[in-house]
Amino acid sequence: MRQEKRELIDKVAARRAKVGVVGLGYVGLPLSMAFGEAGFSVLGLDIDARKVESIGRGECYFRHLDGAPLSRLVESGRLEASLDFSRAAQLDCVVICVPTPLTRQREPDMRFIVETAQALAPHVRRDQLFVLESTTWPGTTEEVVKPILESGGLRAGVDFHLAFSPEREDPGSHASTAVPKVVGGLSPDCLEIACALYASVVPRVVPVSSTRAAEMTKLLENIFRAVNIALVNELKMLCERMSIDVWEIVAAAATKGFGFMPFEPGPGLGGHCIPIDPFYLTWKAREFEMQTRFIELAGEINAQMPRYVVQRTQDALNARSQSLKGAQILVLGVAYKRDVDDLRESPALKVIELLTEAGARVRYHDPLVPQIGALRRHQLDMASVPLDDDALSSADAVMILTDHSDVDYARVVRQARLVIDTRNATHGLGGGDRVVKA
Ligand SMILES: NC(=O)c1ccc[n+]([C@@H]2O[C@H](COP(=O)([O-])OP(=O)(O)OC[C@H]3O[C@@H](n4cnc5c(N)ncnc54)[C@H](O)[C@@H]3O)[C@@H](O)[C@H]2O)c1
């Protein structure tokens, strides 16, 4: 093992190792590009033929990503994509970035990890490295992935290497390659090889004692966010009753510079991580007869925010002798966060449903989301309208749900009859009582 381990590390250092990325989504595609840009030959594997074909044409399917490096990499032959999992046998390192959603019963849905491991298992060969990156409950790499990959007879930590390294991508802001990477291995050798691989694409690798420790680290990071966002959302509701601007308070508190970290209130939690990942731990904790009360409470508060902002809209219309029923509402921004095109778990979808149920006529504008189709939990079919004079002045209320940079908020404040601002996007733009922070 020692000799083979050295050879693999040397291959990685010389960029002769062939790297595979399974799951070419929000995490896997930028990671494939990062490995390609670092000089590796990269094979992306996915079950989605449209993604594979798009990469084949050198075309990027995410609006928030710069497509130029992708086409360069494909053209130079450094990056290719395939549906054929038997090609995994040619790979030295395989990184798995498949989805980890919740089931309808809000329990971890391990289907994608299990199916991926099953598809890879027949092609596992000696001295390969497998790394799971999908966010998941502590123990997944050892309890779920390891036995499946070992089903062909080779043993993890002995014949091949296995590690876990959580993705810390912050879509629309930090490039994942600028963030240190936590890595946990099944054995010291597994850890060393996985660290060598990631050291080629990130500025700093943080080794931890086990795959479980690495899995738990990611959950702590996301739970920390979920709990702090819930705290500030609860304070927002209290501040509103007390006629205090919560954004002013957060900004003032942030000047302390230590012992405080600002979190922004909003219309609810969105994205594939923060609303979902904490419940992976809640589920696992039951095995240890523990209840994760902070997580449950944060979930409760954050889940009520879409209803809260709709209620505030109704109250603001009421104050102008208008009803929500029949009102024309223009929603500004439907992606779950600023400057991304990702709709997953976006609170805007819930807000639109609640508005529609209440009888409002809803339109939306989002420069990054031209269309909303049916999603897991929402059956919407809408297209973005242009943000022109007519859209702004004909709306009884304009609700800012996502504060994309590419929107002229001064114009929104000038032209809209009523603005419900859930993101403080109109800060400093005036508007008097036509602007309601919610
Ligand atoms: N999106 C983020 O910002 C982010 C950040 C940190 C961590 N994560 C975690 O990373 C993981 C991946 O998330 P994502 O946002 O990239 O998901 P995604 O849905 O954008 O992409 C997943 C990809 O996996 C593919 N896939 C599904 N089943 C497959 C299979 N059996 N074999 C091969 N490919 C398969 C899908 O076709 C898709 O292309 C999740 O665990 C998520 O929690 C995501």
Task: Provide the pLDDT for residue 175.
Answer: 63
Rounded distance from Cα 46 to ligand 1 centre (Å): 10
Percent of the chain whose predicted confidence (pLDDT) is above 90: 91
Nearest in space to 187 (alpha carbons), one of 274, 234, 129: 129
Rounded distance from Cα 315 to ligand 1 centre (Å): 40
Nearest in space to 347 (alpha carbons), one of 358, 336, 355, 338: 336
User: Among 97, 110, 222, 342, which is best to mutate for testing ligand 1, by the most ligand atoms less than 8 A from CB?
Assistant: 97
Tell me the whole-structure pTM to 2 decimals. Answer: 0.93
**Same topology between domain 2-209 and domain 224-437:** yes
Interval 324-336: pLDDT, tens: 999 999 999 999 9
pLDDT band for position 5 (cuts 50, 70, 90): confident
Interval 194-203: pLDDT, tens: 999 999 999 9
**Ligand 1 atom with minimal separation from the 276 CA:** 43
The pLDDT mean for the chain works out to: 95
Structural domain spans, the chain? 2-209, 224-437
Interval 274-305: pLDDT, tens: 999 999 999 999 999 999 999 999 999 999 99
**Ligand 1 atom with minimal separation from the 136 CA:** 41
Rg from Cα positions in the chain = 24
CATH of 2-209, one of 3.40.50.12500, 3.40.50.720, 3.20.20.70, 3.40.470.10: 3.40.50.720
Hey, whose CA ends up nearest to atom 30 of ligand 1? Answer: 116
> Does position 176 have pLDDT exceeding 70, yes or no?
no
Helix (H) or strand (E) holding 330: strand 328-332
Task: Provide the pLDDT for residue 288.
Answer: 98
Task: Provide the pLDDT for residue 1.
Answer: 53
Rounded distance from Cα 108 to ligand 1 centre (Å): 14
What is the pLDDT averaged over residues 258-284? Answer: 95
**Ligand 1 atom with minimal separation from the 28 CA:** 16
Q: Which of 37-46, 59-68, 110-119, 244-253 has the lowest mean pLDDT?
A: 59-68
User: Among 22, 27, 53, which is best to mutate for testing ligand 1, by the most ligand atoms less than 8 A from CB?
Assistant: 27
What is the pLDDT averaged over residues 32-54? Answer: 97
**Ligand 1 atom with minimal separation from the 171 CA:** 3
**DSSP-derived pairing of the beta strands 181-185 and 161-164:** antiparallel
- Note the Cα 55 to chain centre separation in Å: 21
Cβ neighbours around 172 below 10 Å, total: 17
| CB-count exposure of residue 405 (10 Å: 0-12, 13-18, 19+) | exposed
Cβ neighbours around 244 below 10 Å, total: 13
DSSP for 257-268 reads: -SS-------S-
Rounded distance from Cα 357 to ligand 1 centre (Å): 32
Mark whether 273 is an active-site residue: yes
Determine which one of 60, 190, 195, 273 is catalytic.
Answer: 273
Helix (H) or strand (E) holding 118: helix 111-120
Task: Provide the pLDDT for residue 172.
Answer: 66
Ligand 1 surroundings by CB, under 6 angstroms: 22-28, 45-48, 51, 97-100, 112, 115-116, 119, 133-135, 167, 169, 171, 272-273
The architecture of the domain spanning 224-437 is 3-Layer(aba) Sandwich (3.40)
Distance of alpha carbon 399 from alpha carbon 341, whole angstroms: 18
What is the pLDDT averaged over residues 46-65? Answer: 94
Cβ-count burial 96-107 (b if 16+ within 10 Å, e if not):
bbbbbebeeeee
pLDDT band for position 2 (cuts 50, 70, 90): confident
Rounded distance from Cα 133 to ligand 1 centre (Å): 9
